[in-house]
Structure 1
Amino acid sequence: MPILQRAIELWFHDPACTTPILKLMAELVHNRSQRLQFDVSSPNGILLFRETSKMITTYGNRILTLGELPKEQLYVLKLKGISICFSVLKAALSGSYVNFGVFRLYGDEALDNALQTFVKLLLSVPHSDLLDYPKLSQSYYSLLEVLTQDHMSFIASLEPHVIMYILSSISEGLTALDTMVCTGCCSCLDHIVTYLFKQLSRSGKKRGAPPPQESERFLHIMQQHPEMIQQMLSTVLNIIIFEDCRNQWSMSRPLLGLILLNEKYFSDLRRSIVSSQPPEKQQAMHLCFENLMEGIEGNLLTKNRDRFTQNLSAFRREVNDSMKNSTCGPNSNEMMS
């Protein structure tokens, strides 16, 4: 492993050297078919992640020194390596062979270094490039899904501009042509919305321990920029109503949380959609929205989510039937504006 680390240090600018090494690392840490199983008392999982962190940090810090690159060389010299690094980190974080709480407990910076390198690499990539290169977008959104699911406290502790970058990337990914990317974005959004909802619920209770500092910061950032969550609510609803939604179940999961966090905005949006319909269709559309929220409680418990998903399926069928019967339906973009 030290030889590979040294090779990355010396020839980080040469993809002929770095790509095979990073791909080898991705295979080593990928717990395919649960092949990486260590005893409870074994440090091997931690040691493996340490080496992984070193590799990611070494490559990441050096590749960022390349500066501006010609467009035709950007992917080969930089983005491909970043994409593989994202895949390596995702595989290591989701391998279920490392107890990540140990790192902070013993002051080991391996996890923090890897996550901070991820942030640096991410900020070096323009939003447009995230979706222009399929392998990069798939590796990024897969990693982000793991981070929002298991390391939301890290996401919440990031600087405001980083959080807004991540949220913007999710918002753009919701409309991606790649179903895998779109589904991953829905999952990321669901984790973030659920985290927000839980923190708001806790802050509303007078009893109990105060929320962690990063949670308060995250809530403050989101309260300062409500338009981001509102835009994603509008986007998801737009896709479900007006487009050929191929992953309706995935879309339904974050939608309930988005509605509960933005009840007033949802009411305004619903009113706008209903009023945009031809007069003879407005009552039917109003009834569709009423049925959508029928029996839905103000929580994100599994039973409530499942009921909402069922309601959403019926809602989409009813809306589609109404739209088909409409002879002069307005443009969907006009409705959502």
Structure 2
Amino acid sequence: FVSEFFSLYNDPALDNALDIALQMALSVPLEDVTAYPKFSKAFFGLIEILFRNHKKTVFALDTNVFMQLMTAVHEGLQSSDATLSSLCANTIDHLATYHFLMNGKDKVEMHNLNKHLTAQPNLFSSLTATLFNLLLFGPPQNHWAVMRPILSLMLASETSFSAYKDHLLTTQNPENQVKLNEALNKLLADVNRSLDSANRDRFTQKLTAFRVTTRGFLTL
């Protein structure tokens, strides 16, 4: 609402403030961000808010700057701090949800986002692989955090999920491949191409069962 208010009166104050905040945040090396817990929570909290409420500003960034943000999010997603990984997972969910809901629509934000994805075609596949690896092989404190964006990413980029699934199958012996295929079929059964709350909740339950089942036999 606030951003719409400023836009209504062609007031650039909010955009200017966001731009300054981003410049300040990105001027700090990522290793320094992650070294200080309080600062890292503020840093990733800012990014999450930007992707949630200020997509027009974020997607209008230069691709190099946008990818600097996504690199930070990718790093934070793998943090042992559940708060940080949750903030980063939510950021990814905002991105993937927007892409799924708005893909093909003639909106400036979508054109800008597609420009970034064209320049970095592996972005969604990289995020998909990291999320599933954290779910299947990562520490337990991250499981709930990483589940939320998996459905939106799968819907936003079905090819990324297919590529990860095929790769994971190749890492397993024939017996485990059969088990994994069965588990994947159960995971994907009756999942709608929708991001409404009911479908998200149903898929989260399926993901939980999928994780429990596959961790019993998957090998690294």
Same-fold call, TM > 0.5? yes
- 1:185 and 1:298 mapped to 2: Cα distance? 23
Runs of 4 or more above 3 Å deviation: none
Superposition pairs for residues 112-123 of structure 1, below 5 Å? 112-123=15-26
Q: Deviations over 1:284-319 (max 9, x none)?
A: 111111111111122322222111101101101101
Work out whether residues 179 and 246 of structure 1, in 8 Å CA contact, stay in contact via their aligned partners in 2: yes
User: Between the two proteins, what is the percent identity of the paired residues?
Assistant: 31
Partner of 2:78: 175
Work out whether residues 157 and 215 of structure 1, in 8 Å CA contact, stay in contact via their aligned partners in 2: no
Residue 264 of structure 1 deviates from its aligned partner by 2.3
Q: Structure 1: where are the runs of 5+ without partners?
A: 1-97, 204-209, 324-328, 332-337
Partner of 1:277: 172
Partner of 1:133: 36
Q: Deviations over 1:160-213 (max 9, x none)?
A: 11111111111011111211101100011111111111221x43xxxxxx32x2
Partner of 1:257: 152
Q: Secondary structure at the match of 1:108?
A: coil
- 2:177 and 2:7 mapped to 1: Cα distance? 56
Residue 261 of structure 1 deviates from its aligned partner by 2.5
Q: Deviations over 1:222-243 (max 9, x none)?
A: 1331212211110010010112
Q: Deviations over 1:69-101 (max 9, x none)?
A: xxxxxxxxxxxxxxxxxxxxxxxxxxxxx8342
Work out whether residues 34 and 40 of structure 2, in 8 Å CA contact, stay in contact via their aligned partners in 1: yes
Within the alignment, does 1:288 sit opposite 2:183 as a pair?
yes
Work out whether residues 289 and 315 of structure 1, in 8 Å CA contact, stay in contact via their aligned partners in 2: yes
- 1:266 and 1:106 mapped to 2: Cα distance? 43
Q: Structure 2: where are the runs of 5+ without partners?
A: none
Work out whether residues 155 and 163 of structure 1, in 8 Å CA contact, stay in contact via their aligned partners in 2: yes
Partner of 1:157: 60
Letter in 1 for 2:174: P
Superposition pairs for residues 83-94 of structure 1, below 5 Å? none
Larger radius of gyration: 1
- 1:322–1:153 CA distance, 2 compared to 1 (3 A): same
- 2:161 and 2:25 mapped to 1: Cα distance? 32
The number of aligned residues is 220
Residue 109 of structure 1 deviates from its aligned partner by 2.9
Partner of 1:52: none
Letter in 2 for 1:171: H
| TM-score normalized with structure 2 length | 0.92
Partner of 1:305: 200
- 1:280 and 1:107 mapped to 2: Cα distance? 62
Q: Secondary structure at the match of 2:11?
A: coil
Letter in 1 for 2:117: M
Letter in 2 for 1:114: A
Higher relative contact order (CA 8 A, sep 6+): 2
- 2:7 and 2:208 mapped to 1: Cα distance? 44
CA RMSD of aligned residues (A): 1.7
Work out whether residues 55 and 109 of structure 2, in 8 Å CA contact, stay in contact via their aligned partners in 1: no
